[in-house]
Structure 1
């Protein structure tokens, strides 16, 4: 992860709470969307593990109160994730479209983004507290989009000859992935914690 990653979580509170008084803060979400779609074709879900404010929030804040249970496999299922993606994006698009042309359009659209951030962050906190910090991230619509766009990009590579099967990489993975398996791991968020934890330098991107 980047040195700035642990501090990005404060942006979630600024937009979610401050946005209730200053709706223009909601437009920060557009910067997030732009960054996601610029980065994901080249590095997959790298944004999630390095620049995502909500990811930082759950990793370094919610993790302190999390029960750290296993993330249910159903959360990772694309048959669950895709309907959530289309419903959320469709609802947001409908709200924005129905607001255009009305009085005070700029602030109203900003508030739509603020409420979306507030609602999804609330869900992330609830799931992160009772399950695992990154439970929301396992089916986050933006994470799903990144997986579909660049899930095979910037893959994690294992040098099997160096691996001593200590299992440290699996233990530190915030997404609870089986790091040493040979599959592409499209939901790897490229945070690099497994690479840092490996005592034999058997992992690299």
Structure 2
């Protein structure tokens, strides 16, 4: 992860809370969306593990009080994630069309969206695991689809001793050893840092199978 990653968390709190009084802060969400669309085609969910304010907040703040249970596999299902993404886009689009282009109203809609999703993420983060929301986050799902085979995590089988330390530190609870590449890998690099045999690395993009 980047050196600034642990310090990104307060931004989501500022937008969610201060934004209720200063709606213009909601436009920060547009910067997030722009970054996602610029990065995902080349590095998949790299944004989630390095620049996402909510992800940082969940990892380094909520992680201190989280139950740290196993994330339910059902939440990773695209049967849940795709409908949720479509529902959120339709709802937000409908709300935005009724703003008549007023700057503060648009900003407030973005603030409310940030506050609502962050509240859900907080509840799930405390009761289950910090990155529970991230497993079915609509923006995370979009990134995993756009950058499905980009900047994959690779495992050198000859070096791997299957100590599973990588899976213990993975915030997304991925099966790293058995599945050498997963589109929901957020490229945080914690598994690489902890591997005692240097068996993990990020490689070049792979072609769609």
Q: What TM-score results when the alignment is normalised by the length of structure 1?
A: 0.97
Q: What residue in structure 2 maps to residue 139 of structure 1?
A: 136
Distance, in Å, in 2 between the alignment partners of 1:24 and 1:87 is: 25
Structure 1, unaligned runs of 5 or more: none
In the alignment, is the contact (CA less than 8 A) between 2:23 and 2:108 conserved in 1? yes
- The DSSP-based 3-state class of the residue aligned with 1:191 is coil
Q: What residue in structure 2 maps to residue 120 of structure 1?
A: 117
Q: What residue in structure 2 maps to residue 47 of structure 1?
A: 47
1:99-118 alignment to 2 at 5 Å? 99-101=99-101, 105-118=102-115
2:166 to 161, 169, 194: 169
Q: What residue in structure 2 maps to residue 188 of structure 1?
A: 185
Instruction: Measure how far apart 1:77 and its partner are.
Output: 0.3
In the alignment, is the contact (CA less than 8 A) between 2:154 and 2:181 conserved in 1? no
Q: What residue in structure 2 maps to residue 86 of structure 1?
A: 86
In the alignment, is the contact (CA less than 8 A) between 2:62 and 2:130 conserved in 1? yes
Q: What residue in structure 2 maps to residue 26 of structure 1?
A: 26
Q: What residue in structure 1 maps to residue 56 of structure 2?
A: 56
In the alignment, is the contact (CA less than 8 A) between 2:120 and 2:133 conserved in 1? yes
Q: How far does the alpha carbon of each residue in 1:34-86 deviate from its partner, in whole angstroms, 9 at most, with x for none?
A: 00000000000000000000000000011111000010111100010000000
Distance, in Å, in 1 between the alignment partners of 2:100 and 2:128 is: 39
Q: What TM-score results when the alignment is normalised by the length of structure 2?
A: 0.95
Distance, in Å, in 2 between the alignment partners of 1:98 and 1:185 is: 39
Structure 1's consecutive aligned runs of 4 or more residues displaced over 3 angstroms after TM superposition are: none
1:143-158 alignment to 2 at 5 Å? 143-158=140-155
Distance, in Å, in 2 between the alignment partners of 1:183 and 1:94 is: 40
Instruction: Measure how far apart 1:183 and its partner are.
Output: 4.7
Q: What residue in structure 1 maps to residue 156 of structure 2?
A: 159
Q: What residue in structure 1 maps to residue 76 of structure 2?
A: 76
Distance, in Å, in 2 between the alignment partners of 1:58 and 1:182 is: 25
- The DSSP-based 3-state class of the residue aligned with 1:117 is helix
Distance, in Å, in 1 between the alignment partners of 2:177 and 2:156 is: 10
Distance, in Å, in 2 between the alignment partners of 1:112 and 1:154 is: 34
